[in-house]
A and B are shown apart, each in its own frame.
Chain A
């Protein structure tokens, strides 16, 4: 399981994360919600090693990974699907998936990994039709599926998803959220989901944390958060509650 303790991150003079503590249990879906600039992406980046924390600890299954490099953390079993998908646009869909397995690829495992890639194609059939196509030519939703598929090929224990719904049509958003809850059910995946779409995220999550200007201001079960008036007002767009 993932445990974050008193994490502090600075970008130059900006104090991006202020003593953030939270945890994600095995096979749990935990949502992190908050406004733009609250530090959600920074938090995920600190976990996956893209950003160096000033202090605090990131612990994964009992191992302190706070100061590991990003390319080592993926070997520990954490796959980060970054905001904006970041697929390898000039490479084919198939090669994108293959690169997901980079850290554990060997000639001996080649056949097994081929099988896993086919597994991703049956999970996301739209990708199967486009396997030879360059990733840059895919639609936003397809790129999101590719980014998730690529992350799954690293054979992770936990998946960090940053804004998977960003910029997608409502119908596609629903589909992506459907896939996310299926991943937990069918692959026993632990999922830490960062979202601006609070309603969507909390509808599939077990628990949630609310991040505001670098601080966790609220946490609880998804039901509690969905029923919370502050959450409703700030993140669920219930303007009618402001007077009540």
Chain B
């Protein structure tokens, strides 16, 4: 019989991992909203965030408080490059073509990471010391607090950007109607570049905050990416805040599944949920019905 404290423990650790799923999902959403495609290299942005921080720390001798933002910044640049080098030259092609290109990019980034960093698993030190904090019989790692805090800040920052800045609204306009957006003087290519930058940024943030808890390796992006995508579906594709909530929810469900059923099914939970939703509620939990006249 599971106790309340065990339940709480599962929820806490699930929400921690789920925050990263949520940030990966947010990354998917941002690119989907401007470029109209699913970027399957999203998981690799998450992986690179963690890996680059580890290597700045180990090889570069960069102190942790500097290595973390540096890694995030570097991945943001990678995101911009991915768009400039692989997506922009073939813009205007069918979304399917572009999506397949992003799959190619993900394989390339993963392979590159393997060549450079090797096949070992790495850990990033926690952002701050101190032992676990006891909350209602469950242990809360200080790193979890970092994860929750940074996720919340990132989400609030994105929310502010999309709802209260003209550039944010212009990005939404691009997703709604590219032709009309360019007639308003919005440089659509630039907005797509910006969306890749944002997407890589939030993905890397997700990777770097989670690396001290779950360890990271060159191929960590595969599952993180797929779960981020599942979180997107859960939250309703195209809805940034639904994506983050979807990620946290997915993390919690996965953790409960691992705890109460079997840890062997941990990864399956995410995909069972995704399949179920695609069958019964393809617009996601927060998709709602769309009222629109033509």
Contacts and interface: CB of A to CB of B under 8 A. Distances in A.
In terms of DSSP, what is the predominant structure of the interface of chain B? helix
Nearest to A78: B183
Interface string A106-140: 00000000000000000000000000001011111
Contact of A102 (B166, B172, B176, B177): B166
B182 A91 contact: no
B170 interface: yes
Query: Which of A48, A95, A140 has its CB near the most chain B CB atoms (within 10 A)?
Result: A95
A70 B290 CA distance: 30
Interface stretch (B137-145, B185-193, B242-250): B185-193
Measured as residues with beta carbon below 8 angstroms from the partner, the interface class of chain B is: 20 to 34
Interface stretch (A19-27, A79-87, A177-185): A79-87
A15 interface: no
Interface in B136-183: 166, 169-170, 172-173, 176-177, 179-183
B184 A74 contact: yes
Query: Which of A48, A95, A99 has its CB near the most chain B CB atoms (within 10 A)?
Result: A99
A102 B184 contact: yes
A92 to B, nearest CB: 9
Nearest to B177: A86
Given A88-B177, A91-B169, A99-B173, A71 B182 contact: yes
Contacts of B187: 69, 71
Contacts of B173: 88, 91, 99
A105 interface: yes
A50 interface: yes
A87 B172 CA distance: 12
A8 interface: no
Given A99-B186, A104-B185, 11 more contacts: A49-B182, A50-B182, A79-B183, A88-B180, A95-B169, A102-B170, A134-B291, A138-B293, A139-B293, A140-B293, A154-B184
Interface of A: 48-50, 69-72, 74-75, 79-80, 82, 86-91, 95, 98-100, 102-105, 134, 136-140, 143, 150-151, 154
> 8 closest Cβ contacts across the A-B interface?
A103-B185, A86-B180, A136-B292, A70-B182, A74-B185, A88-B176, A71-B185, A88-B173
